[in-house]
Structure 1
């Protein structure tokens, strides 16, 4: 598949999206998309959004779900101004780009789209931050580049406060 094909803005996954050829280079991310993303989306446990070509071939995706960070595990900035209860966040459960699209800005575009969706949701529900569980050091470096910060004691779990996300998007 050519990485010059026009792409469509990420949309909710459906059964008309072609996922079989997707290869991010990370088997668990490929497996989730092909075997679990649609069912999880339909059940409401994780909402998956896909970037596609004109032929509905998926070339990138991300999944979001509700989550929380324990107050004791949160960085000081996330704790500020809240009671000592679990802090509501949205988990960016997965973000993956097909190998043919690596290095072309699609990952950044998917992250921006995810942030915009979370900011929109935060207008109607309590959300303090976007949380990711980086799978490896390369993924961690990607999120650190966008000002995510590690949770104390959990260096592969990173958060982006929504106030920082708003500034990033503006």
Structure 2
């Protein structure tokens, strides 16, 4: 792990100066995340520098998880062969962003791994087939494919990672 702590978002977290280079991701964190939390539409987890003043946690990265489903016809044949022909339950990695000052330092990977571990924990209590992500552009899609995400059939940047792959990766790392 890096020199940050990942925790569920709370009012103590300072989101005001966050800038990742994608206005929609900045705007979500700064103005809409509280509504999503209150309405239980997604759960957001933030990274703050380790050792920061406990009353002023500056957010340097975040991700949001939500429940979702992937249409059966969007799964590659190798994955859909033994599944019932209805929507497949997944965890949607709705957003993942790192502040510009902290990019290319391993924080994106740290956030992704934390999200995958949380998903694995959820999957012990609830049926989850995979993690789903809609990459905002090709470079973001390339980031996810480095970690084993594969495209769904509806569009090349709509990606998924089966829970069995997550289980194997986490077991291998233990």
TM-score between both structures, scaled by the size of structure 2: 0.91
1:55-108 residue CA offsets vs partner (Å, 9 max, x unmatched): 310000000000001111112243243210100000000000001111100000
Alignment correspondent of 1:19: 15
State how far apart, in whole Å, the 1-side matches of 2:66 and 2:78 are.
22
Query: Secondary structure of 1:127's partner?
Result: coil
Deviation, 1:154, is 1.2
User: How many angstroms does 1:168 deviate by?
Assistant: 1.8
* Structure 2 segments unaligned to the other structure (5+ residues): none
Q: Are 1:73 and 2:74 an aligned pair?
A: yes
Partners of 1:71 and 1:62 in 2: CA distance: 26
Counterpart for residue 47 of structure 1? 43
Cα distance in 1 for residues equivalent to 2:3 and 2:113:
18
Q: CA deviation at 1:16?
A: 1.0
Q: C-alpha separation between the residues in 1 aligned to 2:82 and 2:138?
A: 31
Task: Deviation per CA, 1:8-30: give whole Å up to 9, x if none.
Answer: 1x111111100000010111100
Judge conservation of contact 1:78–1:128 (CA < 8 Å) in 2: no
1:17-166 map, 5 Å: 17-53=13-49, 54-55=52-53, 56-166=57-167
Aligned to 1:7: 4
Q: What is the root-mean-square deviation of aligned Cα atoms in Å? A: 1.3
Q: Alpha-carbon deviation of 1:137? A: 0.6
CA contact (8 A) 1:52 1:60 kept: yes
Of the structure 1 ranges 113-122 and 72-81, higher mean CA displacement relative to structure 2 is found in 72-81
Q: Which runs of 4+ in 1 moved over 2 A?
A: none
Structure 2 Cα separation of the partners of residues 85 and 153 of structure 1: 16
User: If the length of structure 1 is used for normalisation, what is the TM-score?
Assistant: 0.93
How many matched pairs?
165
